Structure 1
């Protein structure tokens, strides 16, 4: 059991709501910061509605609460959360500028930071990938997270970075469905013989963060993923058995590779080329 007080940003979000419960089960007290209040309450959870753009409010919060560690989850991802602006400027403001405010407040109160990043920060990189692989992000999300990683290293003396593979639950699979659905729930697809992908089930993501609370903070980067790869062939079989994936389109690998190089010639490194790249050459991390 742990008796630490943990600041969690994005505490009412998809991952945050699971994290808060498991931290409390571990014996922690949680100060949860979000733009809204979660429906779940507990005597060891203090929920604070706070705009991370407000530096003074962050400083005041850490003045009032004796926080031992911070897990910075809050971010703009690909969709959801009531956001309609997905410009790079918006990603940069929420994922970099607001993150800087959190980092600076933690430094002034001697609080170690676990920053939750993404494998999208790696970008279009072939071959085996490790935590030291040079980043080549393409998406606005990946670019902003890579920038925030850099700022964390510059600002904070004590930190860790966890780059999450796409996270899913039994009922929330939006981040992995694009790897086998053209249009959910009826139109699935396979490239060649079907691919295998690195993903991260919610329980694994939460366990990694909860375990960090009692680990040495050693200024290292870790890629967090399931032990086993997601097999598209097996997954589509399950989807069909449950009444989905009624139509499965099969694309020869050579055709998709040719299409990728044509798109790359026309548009260069873009979100479209990046999506096709990931389908053809999935991440393999060590």
Structure 2
């Protein structure tokens, strides 16, 4: 089969392209970056996803069988702050262009567990999303558009990391990289996702029949912050560890949330006080 991957030059996309090629698929990569390459088992196109007509032509000309939509605006880069209009354009409007180009072809859309927003206790795919950030809100809107397709799967990824790129999980224990870290109580467990498992799961999807469902993708074992802090110290980083009793963080969270409400700042504290815990499906109570 021929698989199209958007965001092919990104951290996850580049690993996925390699995995698919090693598995034996023909791959069409789409990204705003990189030199265009045609021929062989891999073709790369430098494309703005706003260009709907070119997307449709690439899909048709390469006889694409399935699409994996990874490309997205996630967080601010190089200090630049993005507006809601930026997120809506890149994560929703451009996603719709990809979905329309797919037509009847199966689509795998990569979303995020951030769509759950404020949580207390465990959640499943049946839990009603309450997105807070622009990123999460735009991903939820794109999920809604994806559900209109004839054949789709939505993966909600936990924070993804590689052995070299750990910025998303370092936010859970670093105040200032690489010297200042923090630990709440005896430590906190967070659900994360190694990029190796992420790409294996996406490649496996190419072999299956889409069930028009949503799945949460995470590592089998959660990260435990004291273990990561210990490893950082052994590597010569994390020179100063600030330890906060959990009750002080909980009290601060309750007070701040009571004063300012649910917003992006209290959402960050919510992650520390009530780390996301997911389960496969909602338990039926009799």
TM-score after normalising by structure 1: 0.94
Partner of 1:33: 30
Compare 83-92 and 202-211 and name the one that shifted more: 83-92
Of the candidates 64, 69, 73, which is equivalent to residue 72 of structure 1? Answer: 69
Q: Is the 8 A contact 2:6 2:71 kept in 1?
A: yes
2:88 is aligned to 92
Match of 1:58 in 2: 55
Aligned residues: 279
Does 1:104 pair with 2:100? yes
Deviation per CA, 1:1-35, whole angstroms, max 9, x where unpaired? xxx10010000111000000000011100010000
Q: Does 1:211 align with 2:208?
A: no
Aligned partner of 1:268 in structure 2 is 261
Structure 2 CA distance for partners of 1:264 and 1:219, relative to 1, 3 Å: same
CA RMSD of aligned residues (A): 1.6
Q: CA–CA distance in 1 between the matches of 2:42 and 2:278?
A: 35
SS at match of 1:245: coil
Distance in 2, Cα, partners of 1:18 & 1:160 = 20
SS in 2 for 1:86: coil
- Rounded Cα–Cα distance in structure 1 between residues aligned with 2:66 and 2:223: 33
* Maintained 8 Å contact 1:121/1:145: yes
Inter-partner Cα distance in structure 2 for 1:120 and 1:148: 13
TM-score for both structures, normalised by structure 2: 0.94
User: Which residue number corresponds to residue 246 of structure 2?
Assistant: 253
Verify the 8 A CA contact 2:37 2:43 in the aligned structure 1.
Answer: no
Q: Distance in 2 between matches of 1:42 and 1:185?
A: 43
Contact 1:12 1:38 survives alignment (8 Å): no
Equivalent in 155, 163, 170 of residue 170 of structure 1: 163
Question: Could you say which residue in structure 2 is the equivalent of 1:130?
Answer: 124
SS in 2 for 1:15: helix
Question: Where does structure 1 lack aligned partners over 5 or more consecutive residues?
Answer: none
Q: Output the CA distance in 1 between the equivalents of 2:37 and 2:259.
A: 49
CA distance in 1, matches of 2:142, 2:79: 20
Cα deviation 1:69-120 (Å, max 9, x = unaligned): 000000001133x78342111111100010011011111xx21100000111
